[in-house]
Amino acid sequence: MPKLVILRVCVAAVALFAAQPPPAAADAVAGEAVFKKCAVCHSLEKGTNKVGPSLYGLIGRTAGTAAKFKYSMAMKAAGEGGIAWTEENLLAYLEAPKTFVPKNKMPFPGLRKAKDRDDLIAYLNKATR
């Protein structure tokens, strides 16, 4: 392939990429408002479980391992299978909890808006470390 054609393809690719709007930045303040849906069942305090486990130290934690919380067999199996709460896994779980970990006992249907999920994770990163 001639160098000129390769150069034109590269320039076109860069122009196309540059024309895309940047992704919206996650907003921890907005995530705090989203967390109100979660706060009914989850605490952000270390060792304080409610109907759901404490979310303190959630980012990076292996699924199904919060102290003194009785998890479903499905969530325990997810953790034993290597699932950890990375930001990527949290995004998928928060979108559709029953799809990400089938038969888990969390009744929440998920957050439809990607922005809400991003904001919530930004808030959890700030509030649970």
Per residue in 59-100, pLDDT tens? 999 999 999 999 999 999 999 999 999 999 999 999 999 999
User: φ, ψ for residue 80 (rounded to 5)?
Assistant: -65, -25
Contacts of 71 (CB under 8 A, 6+ apart): 53, 64, 79, 105
Specify the CATH number for the domain of residue 75.
1.10.760.10
pTM confidence score: 0.79
Q: Is residue 2 part of a domain?
A: no
Determine, yes or no, domain membership for 123.
Answer: yes
Per-residue pLDDT, 24: 61
Token pair for 49: 């479980």
pLDDT score recorded for residue 7: 39
Average confidence score pLDDT of the chain: 86
Residue-range definition of the domain harbouring residue 44:
22-127
CA 23 to chain CA centroid, Å, is: 16
Question: How many structural domains compose the chain?
Answer: 1
Q: Compute the distance between CA of residue 85 and CA of residue 13 in angstroms, rounded to an integer.
A: 34
Answer whether residue 11 is part of any domain: no
Q: Are 119 and 34 in contact (CB under 8 A)?
A: yes
